[in-house]
Chain A
Amino acid sequence: MRRPTRRYSFSSLLREARHHHRGWAPAWRKAEPKPSYDVVIIGGGGHGLATAYYLAKLHGITKVAVLEKGWLGGGNTARNTAIIRSNYLRPQSMALYGLSHSLFEHLSQELDFNVFYSPRGLVELAFSRQSMDALSRTADANRHFGIKTWMIPPDEVRSLLPMLDDGPHKRYPLFGALYQPRGGIARHDAVAWAYARMASKLGVEIIEECDVENIMTDGAKILGVRTSRGRIAAGTVMVAAAADTPPLVAPLGVNLPIEPVNLQAFVSEPLKPLLDVVVLAGAVDGYISQSDKGELVIGGATDRYPGYSRRGSLPEIEKTAASMLELFPTLSRVRMMRHWGGTVDITPDRSPILGPAGPDGLFVNCGWGTGGFKAIPGSGFSMAAMITSGNAARVAEPYGLDRFAQGRLIDESAASAVAH
């Protein structure tokens, strides 16, 4: 018999401790595929799971299946460096990432799951007058939009970041930084698990190891999907399969301008606390934060060519290591413990593609590239609204595929010059 999902609380922890923790229900049900659903979501990453949760929670649509070819969060959602910020330049981006950021503020409470959201502050370093100009423009735009960011002078950067080596001999003289005090990090896999657990509690079926082979249509509208575990009928299908989205929808005549590119990250041995803020340094293509366990989490730029290998190339590792040592020579003897790669889905304007595409009933939620972790709550919230009420979701609406044909690009290439 299925045990009901119990609230995670101090009293339930005490109760379970008395019974050797044998009474916990699995966080989500392992469902078997049914012949049909109202909505099928392809991809059990953050964006698929969050959309499923908000469909059930806010719109009462619970005949929903999330189909994942591997395990939940096994894509980029649990491969990223978990940076959360909303200091983007364009109004459309500030609306989307700002919404997401505000949902992150209470996500642990909303989902009854500690996602370790830690708004510890984020600095984007400027090493030239030009990058001061560009970041100041972002700060001004953010202020107009009510997103709290501002420029800070070198002295303030040094007090936030005593480890930074910016002596007069340095190749990159420090000019200042863009500071977002509520920027930070969260635990990436916890975000996927939390959405999965609550969606499952509301009736959504989460089906892992279910590879979608193709999407069925009668030419005009969506009929369902063919999977490694049989056919499933559905009038609405949302594809949130990251870089696997373009080949899935191309047979339906939907050409997504997305390139799959590998992006890697590294984690050091655990150290005593030495870095209180998240640091982005576009000039040297590197960024760094310190996890709660004490590990330094380091990332750099994407590979210079497309690929699905989920393994980054050696020159990028060298470049990222060099950039970190340029800023923090004191780290030269720190040992690296782990290194991994993910295949990110890059669009020409570095903004996602959200909304209907091709036959009636087909939606895409992809193109998140190097920065979609922070957007998971916001995109799930707005895609659920879009699926239920057409284009009533104002925040997601500008991100339609037609923007490329109409020249309405939402250019955030400067914001994502360094991957995060």
Chain B
Amino acid sequence: MLLITCPVCSIAGDETEFTCGGLYTAPGDQRVYARGISREWWLCESGCGSWFGLARHTGNQRISAIWVPGEEPDALPGEIA
């Protein structure tokens, strides 16, 4: 189970309150999911309706960063290039 806090409205909940929008890529970027830390888009579905960024390890599901678009963190340790 994922526990997520929206960086925009601060609502917190499990994944049923949010929607994963796939990899945090620009249009045309052909990257695919792999094991390791991936950046993703998530939608604050039950709260403010904003899209935000989230870095998650696809193996152990640990969340290492959450951000508002435009405030992306620098490269994270273990992140898939």
Contact = CB atoms under 8 A, between A and B. Distances in A.
A139 interface: no
B50 to A, nearest CB: 17
B2 A308 contact: no
A304 B1 contact: no
B15 A306 contact: no
A307 B2 CA distance: 11
B1 A314 contact: yes
Interface in A304-363: 304-309, 311, 313-315
B20 A313 contact: no
Given A314-B1, A315-B1, A256 B61 contact: no
Contacts of B70: none
A260 B16 contact: no
B2 A258 contact: no
B53 to A, nearest CB: 14
Interface in A287-307: 303-307
A13 interface: no
Contact of A304 (B19, B34, B35): B19
A260 B15 CA distance: 17
Main DSSP-derived SS at the A contact region: loop
B15 A309 contact: no
Interface in B31-80: 32-35, 40, 58-61
Nearest to A245: B32
A255 interface: yes
B40 to A, nearest CB: 8
A260 B16 CA distance: 18
A304 B20 contact: yes
Contacts of A308: 33, 35, 58-59
A247 B35 CA distance: 9
B60 A305 contact: no
Identify the interface centre among B16, B33, B40: most chain A CB within 10 Å of its CB: B33
Interface string B1-43: 1100000000000111001101000000010111100001000
B1 A306 contact: no
Given A304-B15, A315-B14, A315-B15, A309 B20 contact: no
Given A304-B15, A304-B16, A304-B19, A309 B33 contact: no
B20 A260 contact: no
Contacts of A205: none
B1 A313 contact: yes
A258 B32 contact: yes
Q: How large is the interface on B (under 10, 10 to 19, 20 to 34, 35 or more residues)?
A: 10 to 19
Contacts of B1: 313-315
A313 to B, nearest CB: 5
Contacts of B35: 247, 308
A185 to B, nearest CB: 30
A311 B32 CA distance: 20
Contacts of B20: 304-306
B58 A306 contact: yes
A47 to B, nearest CB: 20
A255 B60 CA distance: 24
A285 interface: no
Given A304-B16, A304-B19, A309 B32 contact: no
Contacts of A258: 32
Contacts of B34: 246-247, 250
Nearest to A303: B15
A124 interface: no
B33 A306 contact: yes
Contact of B32 (A246, A304, A305): A246
A259 interface: yes
A256 B32 CA distance: 8
Given A247-B35, A255-B32, A260-B33, 12 more contacts: A247-B33, A255-B30, A256-B32, A258-B32, A260-B58, A305-B20, A306-B22, A308-B35, A308-B59, A309-B61, A313-B14, A315-B16
Interface of B: 1-2, 14-16, 19-20, 22, 30, 32-35, 40, 58-61
10 contacts: A246-B32, A247-B33, A247-B34, A250-B32, A250-B34, A255-B32, A304-B15, A305-B40, A308-B35, A315-B16
For the complex of A and B, the 8 pairs showing the least CB-CB separation, nearest first, are A305-B20, A247-B34, A246-B32, A314-B1, A255-B30, A313-B1, A308-B35, A308-B58
